[in-house]
Amino acid sequence: MNADLKEAFSRIKPICDVIMVCPSPESIDAFISRVSDLKKKVVQELQQYLLFPLITHLKSSQTDKKNDLQSRVVDAMGIVLDKVTVNSFEMCMKMEVGLLQLVFDHTKPGMIAEISEELKLSVMKTLTLLLLNIEPKYREAMLKSHVPLLGKTVYVAVHLAKMEKLKSLRLAAITCVTAHTATHARLTRHYHITNAAIEKSAVEMLSLILPGVLGALQDVATCNDNPGHLLVITSIDAMHRILCLAMNNKFMTTNTDIKVSDFAKMIKEKENREVSSKEPIDPKTLPARSPEWFAVAGEKLLLITKSLVSLRTHEHFKVRKELAVYCSRLLFECNIAMHTSVPLAIDALISLSKDEYLEVAEFCTNAINTYFTKTSDDNKSKMLDALCENFFATVTSLPRVMNNIDSARKESALNLVHGYMVVLTRQRPQRLTCALSVAARAHALCAALAQAAATHPHLTLLTHHALRDINSTPPTNSPWCKLRHLDSEQCVRRFTEICCQLGDAECAELVLDTLLEMFHQTRDAELVYIMNNMCTASNSSENLIRRILNTYIEEDVWYLPLEVNIAEPPLTDADTLDVSVYNPHSWTKDSVPGLYEGAVETRYTDISYAKPRVRRPAAHDECATLYDAQRNMLLSCLLTEGLGIMATRLKAKYQPYLLKTLCLVLERVGSKYEMLHLSGLKAIYAIAQACGHSSVPELINHNADYFTNQVTVRLKKAWNCKSALQILSVVMEYSDSNILNYLYGIVQDVLVQSCDKYYEKDLHAYLQVFLTFVECIRKWYMIGELDPSEGQGNEYLDLLKDTREHIEKKEQEERLLSDAEFEKETGKTVEEMYREDLQQREEDELDYDDTVVEPSIPHPQYVTVTVIILKRCLNYVASSNRDNCILALQVLNTGFPILRQYENELLPLVHLTWAPLVSKFQAEPAIMKRAFDLLVTMAELSKDFIQNRAVKEVLPSMCAFLSATARESYRKDVGSWYRASAAYSAQVAALAALARLALRLRLAERALSAAMDAVQPYLSDKQPKPLQLSAVEFFKMMLDYDYGAAWYHLRQLCNNDQVLQPPTIEHLRLEPVVGTPYLPTDTEYENNIKLIFTYMVS
């Protein structure tokens, strides 16, 4: 014994003696401390001496039922085992049995003793260390001769992992299982046991306990209450280590030397099998690892694999990675013995090959590629056949899977479908083409995809936009398409990839045939969504895109009814005087084009006095229900979006299709429906970019001849003129003055048709074209808004200016009346000046005018067209239709500034506008607001031309309106409904207009006083804040316009007794003034009076 060993022994012996006699927590802690300080060589030599007292007290009277003390003893044993290699088989067995007795109780559930979790944890860790640090020959001996003991330990360990709650205990139990089955990571290299003898012994032992162990571990892996992902990963790792050892292909014995006796044995076994075929086979009677045993074990393990593959939707990527390792090893190492589980493993790998984590996806992809590369052609063909069957089974179940709330399950199902398609199209000829050659299967695939892509029509689809802005950025997504089942971004992306894979496949045309057949039968939006995504495939054929495009632009497909059928309005006195004699609802009235151009023929059918006619069916441009209108709107948006997608795919090759599609897309951009407008905007930007243009105006300018012809043709057809007007409006908004030459002829046609009664139903569209035209003229020729402050300025106010001017004029008159003064100033006598005047008169009579008058310069063509448009719109100001009236007023208000420099055209139009305009100041508030705007524009442009008429005919109406509505808006705070009413908008417009009118019309004393009286109530702080600010601005402008009148009016409003002291002026004495305009006695006006004189509004 060397010196180190002697010293160590002398230090450890007293403690071992104390533990042997009477173990205590203190002595065990001291033992652990001393052993931890010893070198491994020393502990290796003293292992039996160190372990003997601990083995003795595992179940002694001193430690019995003392779980804490027993736990310390077991921990101390683990400290020793961690530093040694056990070289005594007898001691190894004693420790195995002693430790097992601590946790084993056959009377309890799972045969687990009722001891503390800490003791169980210590026992599992120590048992693991024991099996890991035993000499190989003893491990082999234990695996051969002590299988029941090891099986009991494994049974207890797996039930601890299954039934306990403590996470560390469950992990230690699973590690103990792998140590006792020789599959622990420290006992293997790349998952394989390097010692052939130990491997054989482990396989023979596992063949006796395999299904039970894997079943318990499968329960642990699939438990819903697992604390974290590490437990799942550890259990799956233990499963594929055990499974791929016991069911490995290399243990499937094959007899290559066949003899006559083998045939005789096979015949005998067949006869015996036929006799006992009706009796169930007991697996216990089968020879271990025989073909029959492998077959039965494979069937049992199939259920375990089927349960395990459900973890492919687990939230943690490491769990999915470990499942991929399980399936990969099963596929490469156990595919013969477990051939029934191979399709499940392939399914899981295919599904996980589309995992969002690159590590998982790459591992699965490499596994699949390796399998199909290394396997034989025969096996590959069989596997592809099996995959085809699984593919259609998955597709058939896809609608059921998608119709639930589990997004992870949906994504997994879509991943599986996409993975199948990738595998079935990986080489040519593609296996998917053969599979889809059966019409029923192709239809099943398309129907399943259509149900998976189910859309959800919503009311916002039919929303009209408040203000169309074609220069806004097109949407990057598709707000019109709300998918019912694809409720996550990952699901949408995977479904799109599935459709792209179909578009790239050889069978794309075959699938398209089925989709088009279904579409012509049902007109489902989901089918269009699928076809749009097929077009996005990078290798989709031009013929495929051409067929889809031609289907989209068919007239009965593109032009779908979007309005809901409206019932007939009730009869009024204008319709009939006596329903029993004359009932217009008793027959159908129909107007159609007559024989000659412009003629209209009216026909009456189904005439009956006895009974009213039945409700008319929905017209071709109307839907029977709101749901039908929503579905049609969704379909129209998807069709429009599809054109942009095809353009993006074809790029420059899309140019030939512009003749057919450019006008269709421009029409969508001009739609009154918000969603249809946005889809058109997205499509037109995509087309412009695909055709190599930097912007949409550039696209239109390069292809102007495409739309001019179609617009002209459509205008000649009454049923198609509305679309032509929408196209024209959009083109004008997008273009610049270079396109005017194309537009003049079209606008002339619109002018002609707008006065045709047959086209009256589209009057709103005509007016929209006129409005767009004049707006574009102002934009192109930079004709800005009128400046309301033009001609104004805050000049110095001199109250005595008029007095001084009067004195100067009187003095000049006196000088002129004095002859002496006159002759002195001019240097001539009165008689001389009289003779000069006579001579000049005679010369003027003899003179004749020989000057040549130059012809006037013709007006620009846009001015001429604008004048014609404004004259035409004058006819519609008096329209009974509110929308048409408002739009006509808006056209006039926008068009008049164009004629600012052309008074000869402007003033006659102002004169013609006056009569219909005056009547609108008694109309509803919405029309009145537009009338105010137009009146201000006319006053600013024509100035004195309408002064007298405006003061006499309009100003009283405006003042009366403001006075009446002031009572209605009183005490209407921010939250009041009144803020959203038309009357409130008209008040705001009237207050703004009145101030500008007072300046432009140069209102005199009485009219100005009436205007200030009407605005005065709005200075109250009980009025809505915007109205108060407008009133403040009005009085500020009046102070600049006529300081004296405004000052006096505000002085009367304040009605106070304050004295205003006058300034000191030489040679002039001014009296103090009682009453000032700065401090009102009524506190409601105080704040706004202060604002008027501060020249600022907060």
CA distance 694 to 587: 57
* Structure tokens belonging to residue 754: 């707008």
CA distance 997 to 1014: 14
Write the single-letter amino acid at 963: S
* C-beta separation of 1081 from 1054 below 8 A: yes
Q: Are strands 1059-1060 and 1073-1074 parallel, antiparallel or unpaired?
A: antiparallel
**Angle between helix 89-103 and 147-163 (nearest 10):** 40
Task: Determine the pLDDT at residue 1067.
Answer: 64
CA distance 866 to 843: 48
Tell me the HSE value of 42 on the side-chain side, using a 13 A CA sphere. Answer: 17
Burial of 267 (0-12, 13-18, 19+ CB in 10 A): exposed
Write the single-letter amino acid at 1044: G
* C-beta separation of 386 from 394 below 8 A: no
Q: Coil, strand or helix: which one is 23?
A: coil
Domain segments of the chain as ranges: 902-1094
List of long-range contacts for 718-722, beta carbons under 8 Å, 24+ apart: 718/593, 718/758, 718/759, 721/753, 721/759, 721/762, 721/765, 722/762, 722/765
Q: Coil, strand or helix: which one is 106?
A: coil
* Structure tokens belonging to residue 546: 């051409």
CA distance 529 to 535: 10
**Gyration radius of the chain over CA positions:** 49
Task: Determine the pLDDT at residue 762.
Answer: 72
Roughly how many angstroms between the first and final C-alpha of the chain, as a whole number?
102
**Angle between helix 658-669 and 626-650 (nearest 10):** 130
CA distance 346 to 405: 26
Q: Which residues, 6 or more positions from 475, have their beta carbon under 8 angstroms from its beta carbon? A: 678, 681, 682
Q: In sequence order, which ranges of 651-693 are alpha helices (DSSP H)?
A: 658-669, 674-690
CA distance readout (Å), 403 to 312, 399, 407: 19, 6, 10
CA distance 373 to 538: 26
DSSP state string for 79-95: HHHTT--B--HHHHHHH
* C-beta separation of 693 from 740 below 8 A: no
CA distance 146 to 901: 114
Count of C-beta atoms within a 10 Å radius of residue 126? 27
Q: Is 227 left (phi over 0), alpha (psi -120 to 50) or beta?
A: beta
Q: Coil, strand or helix: which one is 902?
A: coil
* C-beta separation of 299 from 340 below 8 A: yes
Burial of 441 (0-12, 13-18, 19+ CB in 10 A): middle
Task: Determine the pLDDT at residue 468.
Answer: 66
* C-beta separation of 47 from 84 below 8 A: yes
Q: Coil, strand or helix: which one is 410?
A: helix
pTM passes above 0.75: no
Task: Determine the pLDDT at residue 1098.
Answer: 34
Residue-wise burial string across 325-356, b where 16 or more C-beta atoms lie within 10 A, e elsewhere: bbbbbbbbbbbbbbeebbbbbbbbbbbbbbbe
List of long-range contacts for 29-37, beta carbons under 8 Å, 24+ apart: 29/72, 31/76, 32/75, 32/76, 32/79, 35/76, 35/79, 35/80, 35/83, 36/79
Count of C-beta atoms within a 10 Å radius of residue 557? 17
* C-beta separation of 193 from 282 below 8 A: no
Cα-flanking dihedrals φ and ψ of residue 283, to 5°?
A: -60, -25
* C-beta separation of 767 from 875 below 8 A: no
CA distance 128 to 384: 44
3-state helix, strand, coil in the chain (%, to 5): 70, 5, 30
DSSP state string for 1043-1089: HHHHHHHHHHHH----EEPPPPBTTB----EE--SSS-SSGGGHHHH
- Series of mean pLDDT values for 10-residue runs along the chain (1098 residues): 78 88 88 88 88 85 80 92 91 92 88 90 94 92 91 93 92 94 91 90 88 90 87 94 90 60 62 50 61 83 90 90 94 88 90 90 92 83 87 92 89 91 87 90 94 88 73 85 91 94 93 95 94 92 94 92 68 53 53 55 53 49 84 95 95 90 90 90 94 89 79 65 75 77 74 62 78 84 65 46 66 64 61 73 60 66 88 87 89 92 89 88 82 87 82 87 89 78 85 85 85 91 90 89 87 84 71 83 87 64
Q: Which residues pair with 1068 in a beta bridge?
A: 1065
Task: Determine the pLDDT at residue 796.
Answer: 43
Can you tell me which residue has the tokens 């032509």?
A: 724
Task: Determine the pLDDT at residue 706.
Answer: 78
Q: Are strands 600-605 and 622-623 parallel, antiparallel or unpaired?
A: unpaired
* C-beta separation of 320 from 355 below 8 A: yes
* Structure tokens belonging to residue 428: 């040519």
Count of C-beta atoms within a 10 Å radius of residue 520? 13
Count of C-beta atoms within a 10 Å radius of residue 462? 19
CA distance 1092 to 1085: 11
Segment (H or E) for 998: helix 982-1000
Considering only CA atoms, which of 42, 35, 36, 37 is closest in space to residue 1?
42
Considering only CA atoms, which of 623, 726, 618, 602 is closest in space to residue 666?
726
Q: Coil, strand or helix: which one is 543?
A: helix
Q: Which residues pair with 192 in a beta bridge?
A: 189
CA distance 386 to 378: 12
Count of C-beta atoms within a 10 Å radius of residue 391? 25
